[in-house]
Structure 1
Amino acid sequence: MTIKQRWQELMANQPLKRKLYEIIFGSDTPMGKMFDIVLMLCIALSILITIFDSIFVNPWIVGALVVMEYLLTLFFTFEYLARLYCSPRPRAYAFSFFGIIDLISILPMYLGWLLPGARFVIVLRSIRLIRVFRIFKLFSFLDEGYALLESLRQSFKKIFVFFLFVLIMVICLGTVMYMVEGGEPDTSFTDIPTSIYWAIVTMTTVGYGDITPVTPLGRFFAGLVMLLGYTIIAVPTGIVSSEMVKQSQRDVAKKYEKDRLNGEN
């Protein structure tokens, strides 16, 4: 039997696809629960390796971390290919949020192999940081995580409009502050972009203190911007919280309907 025939036979093996689907996607089955636990532990271990890799300089420890990451990446590669293989809609999975996370989390090792010599060392160390994206996969094991992601998706338009409003506001506030402080000697507000930067830092209550007004009017205006910043911070929190409450109500309604249908059957 040729390789092509073996490949066609593998792709047409529906019993194997169903079995893999039950294990990988079926979190309500014993094997599925076991697979989820193993996958969660591997994700957590991979994230710890990424963190430790930025701390340790001992060649032996770094080498051990690299070997462990290679083994984990091979496991994640198998998981990604298995999901594509057994998924009823592989294209939909590949372009889904978690499908993209799965792909970019295994890319560092393979990209590193394609970059030889000194470039390999420099680029690989920076590309490895992509592995931290695996932490998003932990959401797939938590109902609360799904609820949060769904709430963010539902509130995306509102949040986008809010940030657009904030962008317009900081441009206006920065321009006004430049008009107030720009003409003063030794002023820090040397141009409008710098003043916009000050408005962003002030409204977000970060307050680096590298740019400060010197005139009484400028300080009064800065105080108003600070107070405005406190009120603005609460807006996106309220938007997402409202959507989370709605999502929780929808989940309760779905569960009630499902239990009702099961009771009738």
Structure 2
Amino acid sequence: MSKVTVTDPSQSSQLSYRAKMYQLLEGDIHKNYFAKIINIMLIILIVGNVVAAMFESEPDYHKAYRQQFALFEIISLSIFFIEYLLRVWCNVENPTYQHLSTSKARLKYCVSPIALIDLIAILPFLIAMFFTIDLRSLRLLRVLRLLKLNHYFKGFNIFTTVIIKELKTMTAAMMVMIFLIIIAASLMHAIEGKLQPAVFGSILKSLWWSVVTMTTVGYGDVVPVTVFGKVVAAFIMLIGVGLVALPAGMLAARFGEELRERKTNLNDHIEDALGDGYIDQTEYQALVKLATKLDIDPEELQRSIERIKEEHHNDICPHCGK
């Protein structure tokens, strides 16, 4: 007699529900209509929270619509709290965590940057559970809910990756800028300190002018009056034009390079999949997962497949088929 394996229906159902919830919250919105609706609703709620926090900071609006603001905040926090718990529960289905136990997978997700952002979003709710506090004093945390949009706009991940990869060079550029700001403030204190003690009387007082001038903002609220001071200021402005643009140029170059690297990586995998002349269902699903990981749109994946197929077709000899 063959051995029959009996599975626990409740456990099977639980895994099924968990997988479905993961697809709704973390799945591809291009393939799941309900996931797209949920994402759009959460985006609207996040933007609505930030707009409400901005209007509530106006005393007249806060006084006139205090109850409405409070009700909207309670509803929003409740939804964000439930969303956070559901994400912690269902992220066990994430392929990245499949080699881990359930508890370790959830712990790893909880300490991930995206989960910490979600935690910040519900922090007022958690604080209010244990302490009596005016939620208006936590308005900054409410505005930080904008960071939750990282869930729904995957392009943010590319920007974060670029920042991390360029962190050393960006730090070096910022340190050079800080050094020059301090040197400029010291020079202007030595040159203009006695004539304008209110604004250049110390290096600390001169820092404001140095920052404004080095960044080429130029408010004009503080200006040198001596010839030597004006000459030094002119050099600082010229240096600032190039120095401030340096980090922006590095980020722009690295951003383009990151996009090229991701597309090249995807194209290499497409080439491998087409080694036998066609892409089967298993290979296609692997390519979709890779494209999702690289934050490349499904439409871009399909265009790349068609283009590489065409290239392979053109490389085939019409006589021998090789």
Following superposition, the deviation at residue 185 of structure 1 comes to 6.6
Q: TM-score, normalised by structure 2?
A: 0.71
Equivalent in the alignment of 1:21: 22
Q: Does 1:162 align with 2:165?
A: no
Match for 2:200 among 189, 201, 206? Answer: 189
Q: Does 1:264 align with 2:268?
A: no
Match for 1:245 among 253, 256, 278? Answer: 256
- Check the 8 A contact 2:55/2:62 in 1, yes or no: no
- Check the 8 A contact 2:62/2:69 in 1, yes or no: no
Are residues 208 and 115 of structure 1, via their aligned partners in 2, closer, same or farther at CA, if it must alter by over 3 Å? Answer: farther
Q: Which amino acid aligns with 2:113?
A: F
Following superposition, the deviation at residue 33 of structure 1 comes to 2.3
Q: Does 1:85 align with 2:89?
A: yes
Q: TM-score, normalised by structure 1?
A: 0.85
Match for 1:72 among 76, 84, 103? Answer: 76
Q: Does 1:104 align with 2:108?
A: no
Equivalent in the alignment of 2:36: 33
Query: Residue by residue, what CA displacement relative to the aligned partner does 1:61-104 show, whole Å, maximum 9, x if unpaired?
Result: 22112211211111110111111111122222222222111111
Quick one: distance in 1 between partners of 2:74 and 2:107? 26
Following superposition, the deviation at residue 167 of structure 1 comes to 1.0
- Check the 8 A contact 2:216/2:241 in 1, yes or no: yes
Following superposition, the deviation at residue 258 of structure 1 comes to 4.5
Quick one: distance in 1 between partners of 2:57 and 2:36? 32
Following superposition, the deviation at residue 19 of structure 1 comes to 1.9
- Check the 8 A contact 1:49/1:65 in 2, yes or no: yes
Following superposition, the deviation at residue 203 of structure 1 comes to 0.6
Quick one: distance in 1 between partners of 2:249 and 2:74? 43
Quick one: distance in 1 between partners of 2:129 and 2:169? 43
Are residues 32 and 193 of structure 1, via their aligned partners in 2, closer, same or farther at CA, if it must alter by over 3 Å? Answer: same
- Check the 8 A contact 2:56/2:69 in 1, yes or no: yes
Equivalent in the alignment of 1:6: none
Q: Which amino acid aligns with 1:42?
A: L
Are residues 90 and 223 of structure 1, via their aligned partners in 2, closer, same or farther at CA, if it must alter by over 3 Å? Answer: same
Quick one: distance in 2 between partners of 1:185 and 1:73? 52
> In angstroms, what is the RMSD of aligned CA positions?
2.4
Following superposition, the deviation at residue 36 of structure 1 comes to 1.6
Are residues 113 and 208 of structure 1, via their aligned partners in 2, closer, same or farther at CA, if it must alter by over 3 Å? Answer: farther
Match for 1:215 among 226, 230, 234? Answer: 226
Are residues 197 and 52 of structure 1, via their aligned partners in 2, closer, same or farther at CA, if it must alter by over 3 Å? Answer: closer
The aligned length equals: 251
Following superposition, the deviation at residue 27 of structure 1 comes to 2.4
Are residues 113 and 209 of structure 1, via their aligned partners in 2, closer, same or farther at CA, if it must alter by over 3 Å? Answer: farther
Are residues 85 and 229 of structure 1, via their aligned partners in 2, closer, same or farther at CA, if it must alter by over 3 Å? Answer: same
- Structure 1 unmatched ranges of 5 or more: 1-8
Are residues 48 and 248 of structure 1, via their aligned partners in 2, closer, same or farther at CA, if it must alter by over 3 Å? Answer: same
Query: Residue by residue, what CA displacement relative to the aligned partner does 1:99-153 show, whole Å, maximum 9, x if unpaired?
Result: 111111111233245443xxx33xx212022111121222332243222222222
SS in 1 for 2:61: coil
Following superposition, the deviation at residue 254 of structure 1 comes to 3.1
Greater length-normalized contact order (CA 8 Å, ≥ 6 residues apart):
1
